[in-house]
Amino acid sequence: MDRRAALSLSPAACPLALVLAGLGLTVAQSFGFFLPVPAAGGRFDGYAALLAPHLVASFAFSALVALASVLLSLACGTLIAWRIWQLSPKLKPLALVYKVPLILPHIAVAFIVLIVFSGSGVLASAGHALGLVATPADFPAILFSGNGLGLILAYALKETPFVTLMVLALLARLDPRLVQAARMLGASGTRVFFTIAVPHVRPALEASGIILFLYAFGAYDIPALLSESSPGMLSITVFDLIFQRDLALRPRAMALLVVMFLFAAAFIWAYVRLAARLSSRERKL
Amino acid sequence: MLCRLEGIAKSFDGRPVLSEVSFDVAPGEIVSIVGPSGVGKTTLLTLIAGLATPDAGRIVFDPPPGRHNPVILVFQDWLLFPHISVFDNVAFGLKARGLPRAEVKRRVAGQLDYFGLSDKAHDFPAELSAGQKQRVALARALVVQPALLLLDEPFANLDRNLRLSTAAFIKATQRAFGISLIAVTHDLEEAFAMSDRLGVMLGGRLAQLGSVAEIYHRPASLEVARFLGPVNRIPAALALELGAACPGGEGAEVFARPEGLTLTPDPAGPAEVLEQVFAGHYIVYRVRLRGRELTVYSLSDGLVPGDRARMACHASFTHTEEPS
């Protein structure tokens, strides 16, 4: 490669170099190299510590929250996009309100969920005002109840408009006559949705699904406000290990980050392979 | 009568596309509507299919179409569902009706067999040729036993050498399934080959509807005649000289298609050959006769520019309406 080609690639290569450098340092520290304070114990102690039951539970909890929030976002986002696509040209501009949560920071969305769904929040107060419960505190717990529902709701609220945006971009290229053809053949709205719309927007669902899953799996902002403490989200655990605990635990924190990275990479690899196998022929369009 | 259109009109953004279109379709009949591009043919089909509503007039079906006798429009580009196989495309309407799986399998297999697609059952639409796609679209439409099948430009995306055989195939299929069919096309030869009746649409109006022979040999207007092919305008005196009947008298004109005129080589003949063009299965001659240029189609290439010939007219017609 000549010098000019190398220079033209540098805008893309610089961020990658930074990421690789950071990843290299993380891997090194997870094995006890380049630590701020020397590590006692073996090279693999950081990884062995990850098998502790609370960390395994935390890992499973994070994956569950990410998966549930992504599935909810994909379902809601696709349905909303489908309804918007079906609107008359006159009404379509009004439907742009769906984008509002997109411009809110994640932490603001977390606060909205907190205000609406907490024990003393809007929903519980409304339940009390309607006479459904004796006191707001009697309202069924939605947040911090150990099942990650608050996190899932917050992620879904924030991620649904993103899915809608991605799906609408593909629906713009859907020939409405395909829907007419299906209708003439006697298809119900549900059949049209699943046979025509969903396969058409599948690339958007795959791309946004991967992005959102990996974000929800590793993000810190929403869990900082809404995460249960046990099991907690992995991002909170990593933060605690790095900033709240003994420096000697740095290899364990770094090992956790490495495992999270490997999990994300394996997730993408498996998904791409599965998607390619399922649709290798129909995509010759 | 299976379907009757009465005074159908449709405008888009204030621009009239269809005006006063009326005709009917009998059970088991093929009616083709021909006309130049942009004349409103596809709009007419979408109205009959119920995909749009006419601004005026009405479309009456007897019996009314429903889930068990639908009206199906096969679009020009077929619009197969791209993400499902040929089998599932054909099975689509049956599954939508909730038929048992075994019944769906049996009927789809029969359909694929009839259309010569059995070996393509598991292929996806993107893997098919244009002709195969059209057959899948027809199979998908016919498997639900429609009362009326509408074909939008069925020959537009086919190779030239496939079109006539496709017209014959559509006609044979229509007979085999016993359905009524309306096709819109601007491919005249194919429309002639497959239609029981032909309608000519010009300027958003149905200018004439009748049997293929009637329309071709007794066009209602000069525009209709010209749309169906070149026409020679011949003054009465010259027509009489050529042996053609001239019911309108001395001041009238008769019309003759190029294939209705014949040339016989004769050094003393009144006609002079101006040009000879080889057009494949016929020769086009441009001829001057009594100061008037005429076009003649002939199977013989025995004349060259400058030759003299005698001319005769074997088939002529007069139109019933004055051109606007």
Tell if the CB–CB gap between A281 and B126 is shorter than 8 Å: yes
Q: Name the token pair of A108.
A: 């603001």
Q: How far apart are CA B203 and CA B323, in angstroms?
A: 13
Please tell me whether residues B154 and B20 are part of one structural domain: yes
Architecture of domain A23-279: Orthogonal Bundle (1.10)
Q: Would B50 be classed as within a structural domain? A: yes
Contact at CB, A175 and B93, closer than 8 angstroms:
no
- How much is the ipTM here? 0.84
* Residue B263, pLDDT score: 93
For chain B, list residues whose CB is within 8 angstroms of any CB belonging to chain A.
49, 51, 67, 70-73, 75, 79, 81-84, 92-93, 95-97, 123-124, 126-127, 140-141, 144
pLDDT number for residue A280: 61
How many Cβ atoms are within 10 Å of A175's Cβ, its own excluded?
14
Considering the domain architecture, whether residues B89 and B148 belong to the same structural domain is answered as yes
Listed in order, strand segments (DSSP E) in chain B are 3-12, 15-25, 30-34, 56-61, 71-74, 148-152, 180-185, 197-202, 205-211, 232-235, 253-256, 261-265, 271-278, 283-289, 292-298, 308-313
Chain A hits for B81, CB-CB cut-off 8 Å, are 178, 181-182, 195-196
The whole-angstrom distance between A204's CA and the closest CA on chain B is 15
B288 and B161 in a single domain? The answer is: no
Pair (B97, B144) in one structural domain: yes
Q: Does the residue B324 lie in any domain?
A: no
Q: Do B165 and B17 share a structural domain? A: yes
In chain B, which residues have their Cβ closer than 8 Å to the Cβ of A184? 49, 51, 70-73
Tens of pLDDT, residue by residue over B246-294, are 777 777 888 889 999 999 999 999 999 999 999 988 999 999 999 999 9
Whether residues B191 and B269 share a domain: the answer is no
Q: Are strands B308-313 and B261-265 parallel, antiparallel or unpaired?
A: antiparallel
Same domain, B222 and B93: yes
Q: Which of A182, A200, A281 sits opposite B124 (nearest CB)?
A: A281
- Are B9 and B152 in the same domain? yes
Closest listed residue to residue B61, CA positions, set B24, B16, B11: B24
pLDDT attached to residue A281: 57
Q: What whole-number distance in Å separates Cα of residue B314 and Cα of residue B244? A: 7
First-to-last alpha carbon distance for chain B, in angstroms, is 33
pLDDT score recorded for residue B160: 80
Domain of B301 in residue numbering reads as: 254-313
Residue B320 has what pLDDT? 52
Q: Are B10 and B103 in the same domain? A: yes
**pLDDT surpasses 60 at B322:** no
Q: Roughly how many angstroms between the first and final C-alpha of chain A, as a whole number?
A: 35
Residues B134 and B170 in one domain: yes
Total number of domains in chain B? 2
DSSP, collapsed to helix, strand or coil, labels residue B60 as strand
The model's pLDDT over B117-161, given as tens digits with 9 standing for 90+, comes to: 999 999 999 999 999 999 999 999 999 999 999 999 998 888 887
Residue whose C-alpha is closest to residue A256's, from A270, A242, A266, A271: A242
Sign of CA dihedral B155, B158, B164, B169: negative
B298-316: average pLDDT: 89
pLDDT of B104 > 90? The answer is: yes
A182 with B70: Cβ contact below 8 A: no
The pLDDT profile of chain A, 285 residues, written as one tens digit per residue, is 678 887 888 887 888 889 899 999 999 999 989 887 777 778 888 899 899 999 999 999 999 999 999 999 999 999 999 999 999 988 988 888 888 888 899 899 999 999 998 888 888 889 888 888 888 878 888 888 888 999 999 999 999 999 999 999 999 999 999 999 999 999 999 999 999 999 999 999 999 999 999 999 999 989 988 887 778 899 999 998 888 777 788 899 999 999 999 999 998 898 888 877 776 655 544
Residues B128, B38 share a domain: yes
Closest in A175, A186, A200 to B79, CB measured: A175
Summarize pLDDT for B282-301 with one digit per residue, the tens: 999 999 999 999 999 999 88
| Residue B93 and residue B165 in one domain | yes
Contact list, A191 vs chain B (CB under 8 Å): 95-96
Which chain A residues touch B70 with a CB distance below 8 Å? 184-186
Task: Return d(Cα B35, Cα B49) in angstroms, integer.
Answer: 19
User: Is residue B97, in this structure, part of any structural domain at all?
Assistant: yes
